[in-house]
Structure formats: C-alpha cells, structure tokens
C-alpha cells in the first residue's frame, strides 16, 4: 500500500525581522502543525532579510537562508511568497514588493503606507501575472476586516465604513479621560510603554489612520486608492477639558476614520469626533481598534480587537499565508484592478452635522453677543452653551454646541470668531457624529 504524498510546503521569505517579523517566525514555530492542517500543507520559512544580522532576536534562524539585501532575497530566494514587513511607502519596502511580483512570487504585507500610495499599481502588476497581494495585517492589526468586507460582505453595497484605526491615539484619549492628564503627559507615558514612537507624528497627527482608511475605502467601494483625497486632522489640540465637556454632553472623543460613498462622490476624513455614549464604538478603549461597515442588506457590522502588536499582526499575516497555501486568490480590492473606479472626491466642506466649539475668551460684557452674531450671520444655529465661572478680564472657557449645519458655513463662522479680539486662542472644534 503506497504512502500518500506529503504536500509540498509553501515556501516563505520574510523581509524585516522587527516586532511583527519576529512574531511571524515565532507563530509559525509554535503553531506550525495546526497551521499546516488548516492550510492544507506546511508553511516553511526558507529565507529572511533584516538590517542587522548580529542582533539578538531570540529566534532560531540556523536553518534559514539569510540575505543582507531584501530586494535580492525577493528575486533570488527559492520561495513562493515574500512577506514584506519593513514599512514605509518607498525605498526598500516598495522595491521588495515590486521585485517579488516581477519574479513571480505572491506578496503578503502589513504596510499600509505602501498600499495607500501604490496599492492600485501593485495590484495591477500582481493580477496581470496571476499573483496575490494579501494585506490583512495592514489595517486594524488582528481584526480580519479586509476579509470581512471583501468576502463576507461581497453581496452588499457598502455605504459607509468607519472606525478607530490607530491604537496610539485611542490609548491617549482613553487615558486623558480616565486620569484627567494633559495630552503631552499621556503621550510621554505612551512612549515609555512602547505604544507611541519617539517621533509620534504619524500617529497623533492622523496620518497612520488616513493610510488605513484609504485602503479600507478602496476595498469597500471598489475604487482606486485615493490617499490624497483624505482630509486629515490629529488629536494634538484635544485638551483634557474637552474630554470632560464631552462627558457632560453625553459623548466621548475618538479619532475616527470615516469613508462615505454618496451621490456626490467619496468623502474620506480622519479627525477627532464626539460619538454618543450609547454607540458601541464609544466604549472601545486603550489600544484596541474597531471598524464598522454598513451594507444595504447586512446592516451594521462591528469588528473590534487589538490593532497592533506582534501577536495580533502576525496572526493576520499568517492568515493570509494560509489562504495562499490553500490556493485562494481573491481580487486585491473587490474587483479586478483594471476595473477599479476613479473616485469622485467629495470635500469635507460638503459635510453636514453638529459641532462642538471651545473658545478661550476674555470674560467681559459683549463677548458672547459677538460670538453668536458670527454664528447667526453664517446661518449656524446654536443648540447649547456652557460657561464655567466668572473671571472679569481673565481667560475663561466657553463651549458651544451647534445644530446641524454645513462644514462650509461652520468654517466661515469660525474664521470670524477667531478674529475677535476677546478670543485668545484658535477655537477648538470637534465634529459630532451621530453614527
């Protein structure tokens, strides 16, 4: 009786052995048998590349070929798939992916910046050669949101996708609310804990979330990725008092990425939002991410989980490898790359909604009358106002909440308010989202 042939392993080359790359190696070593069973064949790392060969990583790499140059590895290693975990939209990361595709290898990546800037072109190149670009780990870490939207919601027209896409910002906003500490103090704490980089700009200025949102929008709406069309604001100007006022008003402040497709086009925006306490996303705390997709038949789908870290991100990378091992070849962005639509950009000026405005003003007669006159002249209706204490000729905070209005009208009113002599700082504005 003949012994059944053992299926050939899926041969993997990994570019980048940082937190996620090391996590992938450890995951495959620990759960290799389980993964082979679920993937239909073994997953074998045959080559790796990183900047420092001598660095202690706690990994057993003795039987794995080492390449000093990652692009050379992508071209020459005897592999079926190249896993790119270097990061960055240009340079080595881009060269690795383009070289791998040219050499006939599938690509798995966690690189949201690369996809946001070059995803459409990479998808076209890969699909022309019958190859896969898989990127579950690029958006929301361990949450399988790409698969959920691209496959689980394939029967639906999606009208809106939004979520908490950056764990660093969510941690900072959560801790500011829990402790009452200022933004700078909580950021420093996040850096000590490893939740924020030494240069936190990509996170706290909203760029990381914008990269992820652009990718999500491409998947959800079958459009070319349009990172340049994303309106981006970060959380640096959100103060502890804004978080306290939000609590009093029945909201929490979250940095959200929101993409909406309507008759006027695609609006993509990342900015701080006040979300009602009764919504699920208001209760997603610390470093967790959450993504919500709204389909015409399924309704609202909410996915929550860890958005970063070695374990969750490695889990998403290996899930993509299992799909490739099984021979599953979904389109990169819902439809063939050649059929991706050019999105009509809808500027944030077309948004309609309510607004929270905090002003630091000199407490003297006539100030509020001047502020409300600026709102009135731009047809912005005031819903409520909060003022704490009296301090003649000294700085006091005044909080205004508007009824629904247009972003364009609000911008004009704010410009007039900021020009008033009694307004001491640029207004802090947080959009209120009904969700």
Q: Which long-range contacts (CB under 8 A, 24 or more apart) does 250-253 make?
A: 250/276, 250/277, 251/275, 251/276, 251/277, 251/282, 251/356, 251/432, 252/173, 252/177, 252/277, 252/282, 253/173, 253/177, 253/430
Q: What single DSSP character describes residue 423?
A: B
Looking at the chain, which residues constitute the CATH 3.40.50.720 domain(s)? 10-138
Residue 188: other Cβ atoms inside 10 A: 14
Residue 211: other Cβ atoms inside 10 A: 30
Which pTM value belongs to this model? 0.93
212 is catalytic: yes
Please report the pLDDT score of residue 289 as a whole number. 96
pLDDT in tens, 6-17: 789 999 999 999
Looking at the chain, which residues constitute the CATH 3.30.70.260 domain(s)? 351-432
Looking at the chain, which residues constitute the CATH 3.30.360.10 domain(s)? 145-307+338-348
| 31 confidence band (pLDDT: 50, 70, 90) | very high
CATH architecture assignment, domain 10-138: 3-Layer(aba) Sandwich (3.40)
**CATH fold for the domain made of 145-307+338-348:** Dihydrodipicolinate Reductase; domain 2 (3.30.360)
Give the strand pairing for 158-164 and 230-232: unpaired
CA distance 348 to 267: 7
CATH architecture assignment, domain 351-432: 2-Layer Sandwich (3.30)
Two tokens, residue 420: 């008033």
Residue 125: name the closest of 341, 337, 343, 340 by CA.
337
CA distance 217 to 215: 5
- ∠ CA 36-39-44, nearest 5°, is 50
Mean pLDDT of 216-224: 94
State the alpha helices, DSSP H only, in 132-166.
145-147
Radius of gyration of the chain (CA): 24
Q: Which long-range contacts (CB under 8 A, 24 or more apart) does 180-187 make?
A: 180/240, 180/244, 181/240, 182/239, 182/240, 183/235, 183/236, 183/238, 183/239, 183/240
* Contact partners, residue 234, CB within 8 Å, separation at least 6: 169, 204, 205, 206, 207, 255, 272
| 4 confidence band (pLDDT: 50, 70, 90) | low
pLDDT in tens, 402-423: 999 999 999 999 999 999 999 9
Mean pLDDT of 13-35: 92
CA distance 353 to 274: 11
Of the given ranges (49-53, 203-207, 273-277), which has the lowest mean pLDDT? Answer: 49-53
Among 112, 212, 224, 254, the one annotated catalytic: 212
Please report the pLDDT score of residue 398 as a whole number. 92
CA distance 186 to 120: 37
- Letter string b/e over residues 257-274, b meaning 16 or more CB atoms within 10 A of that residue's CB: bbbbbeeeebbbbbbbbb
């Amino acid at each position: 009786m003949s012994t059944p042939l053992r299926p050939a392993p899926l041969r993997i080359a990994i570019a980048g052995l940082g937190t996620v790359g090391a996590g992938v190696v450890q995951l495959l070593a620990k759960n290799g048998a389980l993964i082979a069973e679920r993937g239909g064949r073994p997953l074998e790392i045959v080559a790796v590349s990183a900047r420092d060969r001598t660095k202690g990583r706690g990994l057993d790499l003795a039987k794995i070929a080492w390449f000093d140059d990652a692009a050379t590895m992508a071209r020459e290693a005897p592999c079926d798939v190249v896993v790119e975990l270097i990061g960055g939209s240009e340079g080595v990361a881009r060269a690795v992916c383009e070289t791998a595709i040219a050499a006939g290898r599938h690509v798995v990546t966690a690189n949201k910046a690369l996809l946001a800037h070059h995803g459409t072109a990479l998808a076209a190149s890969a699909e022309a050669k019958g190859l896969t670009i898989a990127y579950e780990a690029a958006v929301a870490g361990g949450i399988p949101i790409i698969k959920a939207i691209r496959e689980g919601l394939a029967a639906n027209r999606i009208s809106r996708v939004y979520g908490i896409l950056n764990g660093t910002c969510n941690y900072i906003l959560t801790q500011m609310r829990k402790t009452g500490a200022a933004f700078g103090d909580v950021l420093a704490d996040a850096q000590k804990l490893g939740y924020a980089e030494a240069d936190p700009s990509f996170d706290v200025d909203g760029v990381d979330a914008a990269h992820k949102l652009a990718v999500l929008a491409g998947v959800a709406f079958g459009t070319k990725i349009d990172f340049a069309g994303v309106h981006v604001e970060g959380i640096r100007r959100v103060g502890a008092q804004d978080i306290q006022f939000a609590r009093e008003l029945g909201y929490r402040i979250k940095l959200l990425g929101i993409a909406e497709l309507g008759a006027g086009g695609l609006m993509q925006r990342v900015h701080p939002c006040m979300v009602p306490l009764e919504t699920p996303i208001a209760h997603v705390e610390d470093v967790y991410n959450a993504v919500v997709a709204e389909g015409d038949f399924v309704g609202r789908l909410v996915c929550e989980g860890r958005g970063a870290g070695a374990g969750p991100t490695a889990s998403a990378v290996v899930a993509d490898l299992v799909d490739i091992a099984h021979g599953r070849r979904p389109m990169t962005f819902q439809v063939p790359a050649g059929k991706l639509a050019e999105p009509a950009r809808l500027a944030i000026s077309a948004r309609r909604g309510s607004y929270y405005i905090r002003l630091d003003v000199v407490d003297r007669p006539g100030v509020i009358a001047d502020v409300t006159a600026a709102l009135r002249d731009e047809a912005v209706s005031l819903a409520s106002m909060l003022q704490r204490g009296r301090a003649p000729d000294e700085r006091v905070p005044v909080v205004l909440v508007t009824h629904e209005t247009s972003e364009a009208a609000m911008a004009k009113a704010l410009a007039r308010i900021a020009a008033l002599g009694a307004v001491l700082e640029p207004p802090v504005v947080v959009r209120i989202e009904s969700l």
